[in-house]
Copies of this chain bind each other. A is one copy, B any other.
Amino acid sequence: MKSKAIFYHAGCPVCIEAEQNVANALDPEKYEVESVHLGNDKSRLNEAESSGVKSVPALVLDGTPFHINFGAGIEDLK
């Protein structure tokens, strides 16, 4: 069974670069990748924060957050 990978971003240049590189580099045999634009989909902000996401772009693998470079703080997306 595949694990869940959620890539949170906000459409910023740093986010797009991370998505095109890191998110797309994940093993499709292992991960089902979902991409969430927190700037457009604010209803997912609580979920992102609950997973420990502090900034975007961030990749949550099996519930563990990994912040990739820095595009924007979560507070700036509210």
Chain A 33-73 residues near chain B, CB threshold 8 A: 59, 61-62, 64, 66-70
Q: For the side of the interface on A, what is the size category?
A: 20 to 34
Residues of B with C-beta under 8 A to A25:
5, 26-27, 30-31, 61
Chain copies in complex:
2
Q: Which residue of B lies closest to A67 (CB)?
A: B69
Residues of B with C-beta under 8 A to A18:
66
A27 and B5 CA atoms in complex are apart in Å by 13
Q: Are the CB atoms of B68 and A67 closer together than 8 Å?
A: yes
Interface residues, chain A, with chain B CB atoms under 8 Å away: 5, 17-18, 21-22, 25-31, 59, 61-62, 64, 66-70
